[in-house]
Amino acid sequence: MIQTEPPSLRPCSNPSCFRIGRNSRGHWVAQDEQGTRGGLFIDRKQALRFAMFENGNRPQAVVMVPGVLELDLDRKAAA
């Protein structure tokens, strides 16, 4: 099988992929791609620890968001 780009650069489409970033108030946010798991954290280390625990310790499934990342509590999980 031929891969066109390294796995770490491909967009995350797995439900266990997490985004980590800061919200508009400066708090750290971790949330999965489906919007079903996540939270607010005191620091980046705790957000990363949560994401790694939830995704089975897969660093390639964690994406750091450079801009503002708001925790979306209204999102409904896909059926």
Q: Is residue 59 part of a domain?
A: yes
| pLDDT category of residue 16 using cuts at 50, 70 and 90 | confident
Q: Is residue 44 part of a domain?
A: yes
C-alpha separations of 17 from 25, 31, 67 in Å: 24, 8, 18
Q: Is residue 57 part of a domain?
A: yes
Q: Is residue 54 part of a domain?
A: yes
- The tens digit of pLDDT for each residue in 18-75 reads 999 999 999 999 999 988 899 999 999 999 999 999 999 999 999 999 999 999 888 6
Q: Is residue 56 part of a domain?
A: yes
Q: Is residue 17 part of a domain?
A: no
Residue 8 pLDDT? 43
Residue 9 pLDDT? 42
> Residue 34 burial (CB < 10 Å; 0-12/13-18/19+)?
middle
Q: Is residue 49 part of a domain?
A: yes
Question: How many domains does the chain contain in total?
Answer: 1
Q: Is residue 32 part of a domain?
A: no
Residue 35 pLDDT? 87
> For tokens 């620091």, what's the residue?
43
